[in-house]
Amino acid sequence: MLIAGKQLSLGSHQGKNQFVNKTATITAVHHHNLVRLYGCCIEGSRLLLFYEYLENKSLDQVLFGRRERHLDWPTLLNICLGSARGLAYLHEDSRPKIRHPDVKASNILLDAELCPKISDFGLAKPYHDTKTHISTRVAGTIGYVAPEFAMRGHLTKKADVFSFGVIALEIMSGRANSDTSLDREKIYLLEWAWSLHESNQSLGVIDPNLAEFNEIEALE
């Protein structure tokens, strides 16, 4: 069986015991659209995590990499919906419930059938229903971070949904959330998409390389 490994710095965590306990908890979180965490290993000052191996790497590599792979509309829609299901599971059905601190295209991995699986949620902070948000250091990625998270460090389900919305636009448009090689009005994807929406031209954001797409599904 192939596995993927990731090395972490002990300095980024409170201690080995907390790391082991949290990893043990997350290994019990299973969903078709979440990357499976098999376990961990501590070797001196190094912390190692072991995940299931995903053949098609990350979504950003598929969409924007040097070897761009043009996907058809049904495949893109399935990637979008599958990612949404995985995120919804973390928010509503996993035990403990989890808010992901860094939802982005590079944290969505694709298996051999291009089924999406959310990764890097393992060391996110669990939360309880009684809490409206988690106050934490902003650790997200520019372009995906929700305003309230960037300004106040309040990590909420809404912050994750905002980040997912950016990914959905990237999937439909076939471009990254910022691209300085484009015309000035198109550099920032969210601004451009909002401008198109206000002009009743929302479908203008769709990737021109798509041979065909479902307009109703795209607008939803």
- Specify if 49 maps to a domain: no
Q: What is the pLDDT of residue 125?
A: 56
CA dist., res. 199 & res. 182, Å (int): 20
Domain assignment present for residue 114? The answer is: yes
Do the domain assignments include residue 116?
yes
Q: Is residue 39 part of a domain?
A: no
Beta carbons within 8 Å of 163's beta carbon, 6+ residues apart: 100, 102, 103, 104, 140, 144, 145, 146
- Binning pLDDT at 50, 70 and 90, where does residue 178 land? very high
Mean per-residue pLDDT of the chain:
84
- Which of 114, 85, 101 is CA-nearest to residue 162? 101
Residue 42 lies in a domain: no
Chain-centroid distance of CA 184 in Å reads 27
pLDDT digits (tens, 9 = 90+) for 138-153: 456 888 887 766 666 6
- pLDDT at site 5: 84
User: Quick check: is 72 in a domain?
Assistant: yes
Per-residue CA distances from 39 to 47, 60, 193 (Å): 11, 26, 41
Residue range(s) defining the domain that contains residue 160: 54-219
Catalytic residue, candidates 72, 93, 102, 160: 102
**Residue 98: what are its φ and ψ, rounded to 5°?**
-135, 140
101 or 107, greater pLDDT = 107
**140 with 109: CB under 8 angstroms?**
no
Number of domains present in the structure of the chain: 1
pLDDT value at 3 more than 90? no
Active site residue 102: yes
- Residue 155 backbone dihedrals phi, psi, to 5 degrees: -90, 115
**Considering the entire predicted model, what is its pTM?**
0.85
Q: What is the pLDDT of residues 103-131, one digit of tens each?
A: 999 999 999 999 999 998 755 555 555 45
- How much is the pLDDT for 216? 94
Q: Specify the pLDDT at position 102.
A: 85
Tell me whether residue 201 is in a domain: yes
Contact 169, 189 (CB under 8 A): yes
Instruction: Give the domain CATH number at 107.
Output: 1.10.510.10
Which residue did the predictor score with more confidence, 51 or 127?
Answer: 51
Please say whether the beta carbons of 149 and 138 come within 8 A: yes
**pLDDT score of 204 more than 80:** yes
